[in-house]
């Protein structure tokens, strides 16, 4: 006779509402873990998906995603001939925006209204107005070299300079949609997925040259104004003052202003078996550049830009885990103590300890396992509705299951030890 199952069937409402409570609490614990994993993935995706072993940047700069790095575009030729380098690809990347927001979905409207309500006492009027511009990271690469979209989920990739874009699907663009960037309209020809910056802004890909035009070429009005000012410096009275400097200065200023052959980084793929350290040393030595292995580049983002948010979330998660453990332990503890009369009766009838323990521990385990399954399913089902990436793995759920088994067994044994100490005849009214 399976006492545990019979008891559960009899107290099914109480048992399953307790399981649901445990499941909802575990869903939150799993979700916060998924949020942390999402931040980590967002911080590393571009770097890992690019497939580069080394990132070459301007001397004394930390990297293209951390600080502004500018190096001449043609340096990649010099890097590519260093022994051990299989491929070097010049890349530009920067935050851009378009004056367009996708039509908000009901979920986005809900999230916005929720934020508005929950921050009402924290902000000044206008601070929480719905944004009108959409931010993203524009990456320019040479088609056929590393640095482009790793996967195309719809449409096609970019083959040549033709004012075309591949966008992460989170940007909300449709295939064929025209997007104004800089002074040209670009056509979205392909969609990729999960390519976001560490800020979770989606990535748009275009060719290197067109990205350079968008990101580096100054505004024409500003250019005209600067040229006019340089010409004014050539007036006779000015010329009389510094005759020798004026013309070269104007020439240099104009050339700098119009030169777009600058990149932010060169992504380097090594030949199989090549030593990353040796190649990096060579590049540093000959080109006076800085070089970072891919893991270091990820580290710069995780422990740089995202350091505090990661610390904050991890601390919150640790608190949540402790609180959830205590609450779930108490649920199981009180659920067990509610059976003190049945336990006392079994004790008086001479039931073997293992039988009493079996009944209680089986129920606690079932509660823990079902709670974890419910929590895992609810968390997985809710992931798409979070505004940023939330990614929980089966490994996370497995870890939670092990933790829950430990909590369930400990809580039930603690409760049982207390229940076994009671004076059974008194409990039974003797």
- The footprint of another protein (CB under 8 A) covers 1, 3, 6-7, 9-11, 341-342, 345, 348-353, 355, 424-425, 428-430
Nearest residue (CB) to another protein, 37 versus 418: 418
Nearest residue (CB) to another protein, 1 versus 240: 1
**Minimum distance from residue 420 beta carbon to another protein (Å):** 11
Nearest residue (CB) to another protein, 228 versus 354: 354
**Minimum distance from residue 342 beta carbon to another protein (Å):** 6
Residue 404 and residue 369 in contact, taking contact as beta carbons nearer than 8 Å: yes
Nearest residue (CB) to another protein, 1 versus 160: 1
Strand, coil or helix: 187: strand
**Minimum distance from residue 11 beta carbon to another protein (Å):** 7
Nearest residue (CB) to another protein, 12 versus 232: 12
Nearest residue (CB) to another protein, 144 versus 353: 353
- Of 397, 411, 413, 414, which is closest to residue 34 (Cα–Cα)? 397
Strand, coil or helix: 265: strand
**Minimum distance from residue 426 beta carbon to another protein (Å):** 8
Enumerate residues 6+ apart whose C-beta is below 8 A from 6. none
CA-to-CA separations, 165 to 149, 150, 192, 255, 427, in angstroms, rounded: 10, 14, 11, 28, 76
- Of 234, 281, 263, which is closest to residue 142 (Cα–Cα)? 263
Nearest residue (CB) to another protein, 41 versus 351: 351
**Minimum distance from residue 8 beta carbon to another protein (Å):** 8
Nearest residue (CB) to another protein, 165 versus 361: 361
Enumerate residues 6+ apart whose C-beta is below 8 A from 301. 43, 44, 47, 65, 66, 198
Residue 293 and residue 56 in contact, taking contact as beta carbons nearer than 8 Å: no
Residue 35 and residue 314 in contact, taking contact as beta carbons nearer than 8 Å: no
Written as six digits, the tokens of 241 are: 């003052």
**Minimum distance from residue 348 beta carbon to another protein (Å):** 6
CA distance 363 to 248: 86
Enumerate residues 6+ apart whose C-beta is below 8 A from 280. 54, 291, 292, 293
**Minimum distance from residue 106 beta carbon to another protein (Å):** 45
CB neighbour class for 237 (10 Å; exposed up to 12, middle 13-18, buried from 19): exposed
**Minimum distance from residue 3 beta carbon to another protein (Å):** 8
């Amino acid at each position: 006779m399976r006492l545990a199952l019979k008891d559960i069937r009899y107290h099914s409402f109480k048992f399953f509402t307790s399981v649901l409570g445990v499941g909802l609490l575990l869903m939150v614990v799993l979700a916060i873990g998924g949020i942390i994993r999402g931040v980590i993935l967002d911080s590393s995706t571009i770097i890992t998906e690019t497939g580069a072993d080394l990132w070459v940047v301007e001397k004394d700069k930390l990297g293209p995603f951390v600080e502004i790095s500018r190096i001449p575009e043609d340096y990649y030729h010099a890097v590519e001939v260093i022994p051990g380098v299989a491929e070097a690809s010049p890349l530009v990347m920067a935050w851009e925006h378009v004056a367009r927001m996708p039509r908000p979905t009901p979920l986005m409207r809900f999230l916005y209204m929720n934020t508005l309500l929950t921050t009402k006492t924290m902000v000044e009027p206008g601070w929480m107005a719905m944004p009108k511009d959409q931010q993203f990271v524009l990456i320019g690469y040479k088609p056929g070299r590393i640095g482009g979209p790793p996967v195309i989920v719809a449409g096609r990739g970019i083959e040549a300079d033709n004012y075309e874009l591949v966008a992460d699907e989170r940007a909300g663009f449709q295939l064929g949609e025209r997007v104004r960037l800089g002074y040209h309209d670009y056509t979205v020809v392909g969609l990729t997925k999960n390519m976001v910056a560490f800020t979770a802004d989606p990535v748009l890909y275009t060719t290197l040259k067109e990205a350079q035009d968008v990101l580096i070429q100054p505004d024409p009005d500003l250019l005209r104004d600067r040229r006019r000012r340089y010409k004014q410096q050539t007036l006779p009275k000015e010329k009389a003052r510094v005759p020798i400097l004026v013309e070269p200065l104007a020439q240099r200023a104009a050339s700098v202003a119009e030169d777009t052959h600058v990149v932010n980084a060169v992504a380097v793929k090594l030949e199989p078996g090549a030593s990353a350290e040796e190649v990096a040393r060579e590049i540093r030595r000959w080109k006076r550049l800085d070089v970072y292995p891919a893991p270091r580049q990820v580290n710069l983002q995780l422990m740089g830009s995202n350091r505090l948010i990661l610390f904050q979330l991890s601390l919150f998660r640790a608190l949540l885990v402790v609180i959830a453990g205590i609450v779930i332990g108490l649920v199981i503890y009180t659920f067990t103590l509610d059976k003190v009369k049945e336990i006392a009766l079994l004790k008086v009838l001479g039931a073997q300890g293992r039988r009493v323990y079996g009944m209680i521990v089986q129920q606690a385990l079932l509660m823990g396992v079902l709670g974890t399954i419910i929590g895992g399913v609810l968390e997985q089902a809710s992931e798409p509705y979070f505004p940023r990436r939330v990614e929980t793995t089966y490994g996370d759920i497995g870890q939670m299951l092990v933790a829950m088994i430990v909590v369930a067994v400990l809580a039930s044994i603690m409760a049982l030890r207390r229940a076994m100490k009671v004076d059974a005849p008194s409990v039974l009214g003797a």
